[in-house]
Structure 1
Amino acid sequence: MIRSFVTVLSGTLSSRLLGFGRDALIAALLGAGPFADAFLAAFQLVNVVRRLLTEGALNAALVPAWLRIFRQEGESRAAAFAGRVLGTVSAGLLIATLALALLMPLAMTVLAPGFAGDETLTMAVNDARLMLPYLAFAGPSTVLLALSSARGRFALAAFAPLLFNVALIAVTIVLLMQQPDPAHAALLLAATIGIAGLLQLAMLAQRGDRSTIAAPVRVAIDPAMRGFFARALPGMVASAGPQLLAVGGAIIASTTPSAVSWLYFANRLIELPLGLVGVAMGTVLIPELTRALHAGDDAALSEVQSRGLELTMGLALPATLGLMILNAPIIRLLFEHGAFSAADATATAQVLTWLAAALPAQVLTKALQPAFFAREDTQTPLRATLIGCGAAIALAFLLGQMFAASGIAAGLALGAWANAAVLLRRGAASFGFAISSATRRRLPRIAFAAAIMAAALWAVAAVTLHAAAGSHFGAALLLAGLIGGAIMLYAALLLVLDVVDWRQTLQAIRQRSPGNLPAGDLHL
């Protein structure tokens, strides 16, 4: 499991770092005014559907179903099932894309009611329509990547999303050099998003083994396929909880100038640790849990759940505290360029503090959901997500009236914690979480190590950060040193507190997951 986790972690980290570069360039190009608000509101819409499909969400439904058919009925039946899923998802998304293009003015009015009656709404509609082709292409791509994960081949699923960010970065750099009108630049970026989906699908289509993974490809509306999608759609919505929270925040923020942009750019910092954990959990943990459940191996089930919880919280706690302490210098370094002003950076940093408070809850949710998905229970995570989103929107609206964008972010954080609390209560009541005694011993030590690291980081940052004021290069070096030093201190504390054993960890990374697929399985 550790080897697979590291593979997915590496690909996701690469994608997230490229995403930071992409967003820094977009901020410099569009700033935080009406052009950026329109583009980012449109991008939120496309991004939610993209996250419903990618980043492990489809795995929550497809992987357990495919593994069950593979073990009970054989490879040919599993391939036929995958072919029906591939054909039906592709056709359904194509129809949905065309319908959404026609209804885009209504959709954007719902998602950004503050834009109504303003030119910003027209710009958002035009941007969103140009982005929509990505959704049609993302469907078949995601099915193929999910099947790759089911086969235990995680590298392609981890690194395929890089192409999306590479395409946007290349186009944005060209636009920055040409300095076009912001409205025209936003349209070109939106069109690039649509083309990026085609490029990713074309890359997957070049693989010669795709025809035996999902064959024959056809559209099906038989009872078995209807039952699969009835289970799949709730799980996909539940997996996109953080993105739904972001959309809810954008709906409320659309009435405040630039607030949509502040929330978006702050949320991008949250998505680095959340994406690392969420993708790895969705791509790795669900197949591992499903295998343990099908084998009736309680010891393996406890080990997988325990290791997943340790890995997620071990990443989330230091990331949360680090983002709270270094929020302002990080935002200034990444986004305070070109049209993105110092006032925008200050407002975004304030929003980031509150969004960071939601990170442990969102990561905990990502660790808890696979226990339900592996049992093909998608309704419970869906209910928890809807409860969390409802609480978040109500609280964000209330607090936003009093504290503007920071209040909206605080409401979203409270909603994320409501989601996690519902999952904890329902999981404990339904089947109990099989957490090993070793994990119960190590979790408090992880929290203690993160607290010591945060105290040291705060003390050193308070003394040194002012030295690099006014110099982006100096600030970058200092931040890199602070972050690197904090990581090293945290790692040393985990070692001293006997949370990790480096020899065992390296051995686990080198060791391939034994899996349960016969030799000769296809390699994506």
Structure 2
Amino acid sequence: MPTVSTAPAAPPTPPPAGPGAPARAGTRKSPAPGGRFVARAAAVTAVLTAAGSFLGLVRDQTVAHLFGAGSDTDAFLVAWTIPEFAATLLIEDAMALVLVPAFSLALSRRAAAAGGPGGPKGPEAAGDPVRALLAATLPRLLLALACAAGAAALLAPHLVDALAPGLADPALAVDCTRLTALTVLGFGTAGYFSAALRAHRSFVPPATIYLSYNLVIITATLALYARWGVRAAAFGVAAGSLAMVLVQLPAFWRHMTARAVPAVRAPRPRARTRGSGGAVRGSGRSGPRAAALVGGAVLAPVAVFAVFRQSQVLVERFLASELPPGAISHLNYAQKIAQLPMTFSLLLCTVTFPLVARAMADGRPEQARQRVERDLVLAAVVVLLGAAYVVAYAPQIVELLFQRGAFAAGDTEATASVMRVYALGLLGHTLAGALVRPFFSTSRPTWYPAGAMAAGLLLTVAAGALAAPRWGVHGIAAANAAGITTTALLLLGGLRTRILPIRAGAVTAGLGRLAAAAAVAGAAGWAAAPLLPSPLPTALAGGVVVPAAFAGAALAVRAPEVPQLLTALTRRFRHVR
């Protein structure tokens, strides 16, 4: 497996100086990360994430095949709320949004100190800021995670009552919840490791975590379901969180224990009180400053944002618990499939987030702005193309993936119809995930993203409460789409006025053209779907019809992003050939 890490693997290799940093004396200047680095990192991450997502589908297929979409699965999915919540808070959002900028700032300060006068004594005098950050944060985090996991296990009956008061088998849900509570410790540790490694531009180990996680769940479920029933899947979830830690531990240990070897540079970087990216420059207080980025003032708004975002799932399951048995399961399966395009659309943002954070730490907001605008457009292309395919071929997708064993044709029909509604909010989910990153790339605490997410959540609650009694799961899914789209629009407007001067008008116009192309592609796929009787050839044909219609419609509405993407792919193909 090729590595995309440019960080030191072992002493005495010096750490990367970051984008735009001066070259070391006597060495060739390294180009700023971008271009090939981003493409290579994104490609490797995409391959490993695709493998993890594939195993995630196999995991869901296993649960659906063994337990169907009834009361047992509903009980497991209520317990699944803890790992879902923990993954968002501790891996995907809060932990990364806090720690990637913190480690990026520490690495920037390490590079600045290494270039100071005095050779090797420069950084050693002030202490290695990366190790200072590690020592200041990791022990406290592990203690807090262990206490939170224990509290979740003890309070499991109350959590089940609060999450799903109308559940058919609450005792089973309590047992499963006590097992899945262990993921708080596992996910938190894995998220810390992932953030630190990505800041060091090491992307392969973090990209493998869901691969190992899902593999352990599948193995445990198949091995133990005859004896433990659906509790076997809950045990697998807990064991899988430990696997996430173990697959990253060697790389994390290697990077954290590598000695920083300073380079001899001519002038010492001049101190500034505050750069345009909001980072305080200078090397003398670099360790404490980076550690301060993980303090309560910065952590609180990030955590509140992540909690509000994941609370959409809590709202859905709370409302669905009052509907007939199987409603929670149909929502879950529909959401898992529909969100696959969103997952892949955000891969590029995952890779470039450390670059944006480093640019902000180094006081280069223009480079960060260009990167963010480019990421928004590319992510929109991917998610809108995927949403068009999901809308057009939802029944065939669900039938291929889940209709076997206890998962009957009626479950396929219900899940597919909900999935089409979920797809309407995929662009909002992607934009919210991409836009929130630059907000938290500065050293200043900001509550604006949490406020935007709160507004979207309130809309989700109000719309869901009104729509669920009349339209059931479809009303709940529509409320989700409306809420997250509102949040994305608020974030887009706030980013321009508060953090980066992005061209919001140009970005919005480009997104509108791409959305129109996706609507045409979805309609073309929907019309072509009945032409073939079997789901497999129909779904495969859709993989040609929808992209072709999307590209043609994008050219017709003069969306410049698609021709540029096609040109880049053509050049890459010619180069490889």
Q: TM-score range by the shorter chain?
A: 0.7 to 0.9
Structure 2 counterpart SS, 1:58: helix
- 2-side partners of 1:261 and 1:194: how far apart? 20
Relative to 1, partners in 2 of residues 1:296 and 1:230: Cα closer, same or farther, differing over 3 Å?
Answer: closer
The alpha-carbon deviation at position 310 of structure 1 amounts to 0.9
Report the more deviating stretch, 134-143 or 64-73. 64-73
Counterpart contact for 1:60–1:236, Cα < 8 Å: no
Q: Report the residue type matching 1:14 in the other structure.
A: A
Task: Work out which structure has the larger RCO, using CA pairs closer than 8 Å and 6 or more positions apart in sequence.
Answer: 1
- 2-side partners of 1:318 and 1:501: how far apart? 13
What percent identity do the matched residue pairs reach? Answer: 26
Counterpart contact for 2:65–2:406, Cα < 8 Å: yes
Question: Which residues of 2 match residues 203-222 of structure 1 at below 5 A?
Answer: 203-207=247-251, 208-209=253-254, 211-212=256-257
- 1-side partners of 2:104 and 2:243: how far apart? 29
Aligned to 2:452: 384
Question: Which residues of 2 match residues 242-257 of structure 1 at below 5 A?
Answer: 243-256=310-323, 257=325
1:480 matches 2:540 = yes
Residues 300-343 of structure 1: CA deviation (Å, up to 9, x unaligned)? 22320111111111012122222122122212221221111222
Aligned to 1:194: 238
- 2-side partners of 1:86 and 1:222: how far apart? 16
Report the more deviating stretch, 54-63 or 89-98. 54-63
1:416 matches 2:484 = yes
* Structure 1 segments unaligned to the other structure (5+ residues): 216-220, 469-474, 512-524
Relative to 1, partners in 2 of residues 1:495 and 1:412: Cα closer, same or farther, differing over 3 Å?
Answer: closer
The alpha-carbon deviation at position 40 of structure 1 amounts to 0.7
Counterpart contact for 1:306–1:434, Cα < 8 Å: yes
Question: Which residues of 2 match residues 277-426 of structure 1 at below 5 A?
Answer: 277-281=345-349, 283-376=350-443, 377-426=445-494
The alpha-carbon deviation at position 169 of structure 1 amounts to 2.1
Relative to 1, partners in 2 of residues 1:422 and 1:299: Cα closer, same or farther, differing over 3 Å?
Answer: closer
Relative to 1, partners in 2 of residues 1:298 and 1:145: Cα closer, same or farther, differing over 3 Å?
Answer: closer
**Larger Cα Rg: Structure 1 or Structure 2?**
2
Question: Which residues of 2 match residues 455-470 of structure 1 at below 5 A?
Answer: 455-464=523-532, 467-468=533-534
Aligned to 2:215: 166
- 1-side partners of 2:55 and 2:551: how far apart? 25
Q: Report the residue type matching 1:35 in the other structure.
A: D
Aligned to 2:89: 52
1:43 matches 2:80 = yes
Structure 1 counterpart SS, 2:472: helix
Relative to 1, partners in 2 of residues 1:506 and 1:89: Cα closer, same or farther, differing over 3 Å?
Answer: farther
Structure 2 counterpart SS, 1:113: coil
Q: Report the residue type matching 1:320 in the other structure.
A: A
Counterpart contact for 1:317–1:450, Cα < 8 Å: yes
Q: Report the residue type matching 2:99 in the other structure.
A: L
1:83 matches 2:128 = no
Q: Report the residue type matching 2:432 in the other structure.
A: T
- 2-side partners of 1:436 and 1:106: how far apart? 45
The alpha-carbon deviation at position 151 of structure 1 amounts to 0.9
How many pairs does the alignment contain? 489
Q: Report the residue type matching 2:465 in the other structure.
A: F
Aligned to 2:276: none
- 2-side partners of 1:266 and 1:30: how far apart? 17
The alpha-carbon deviation at position 350 of structure 1 amounts to 1.9
Aligned to 1:134: 183
Counterpart contact for 1:62–1:232, Cα < 8 Å: no
Structure 1 counterpart SS, 2:226: coil
- 2-side partners of 1:400 and 1:363: how far apart? 25
Q: Report the residue type matching 2:72 in the other structure.
A: F
Counterpart contact for 1:303–1:435, Cα < 8 Å: no
Aligned to 1:235: 302
1:17 matches 2:77 = no
Counterpart contact for 1:82–1:214, Cα < 8 Å: no
Counterpart contact for 1:83–1:214, Cα < 8 Å: no
* Structure 2 segments unaligned to the other structure (5+ residues): 1-33, 114-122, 261-287
- 1-side partners of 2:316 and 2:565: how far apart? 41
- 2-side partners of 1:460 and 1:42: how far apart? 40
Report the more deviating stretch, 373-382 or 60-69. 373-382
Counterpart contact for 1:42–1:128, Cα < 8 Å: yes
Relative to 1, partners in 2 of residues 1:440 and 1:52: Cα closer, same or farther, differing over 3 Å?
Answer: closer
Aligned to 2:8: none
Counterpart contact for 1:273–1:316, Cα < 8 Å: yes
The alpha-carbon deviation at position 69 of structure 1 amounts to 2.9
* Aligned-pair Cα RMSD in Å: 3.1
Q: Report the residue type matching 1:97 in the other structure.
A: A
The alpha-carbon deviation at position 41 of structure 1 amounts to 0.9
- 2-side partners of 1:62 and 1:510: how far apart? 39
- 2-side partners of 1:509 and 1:422: how far apart? 39
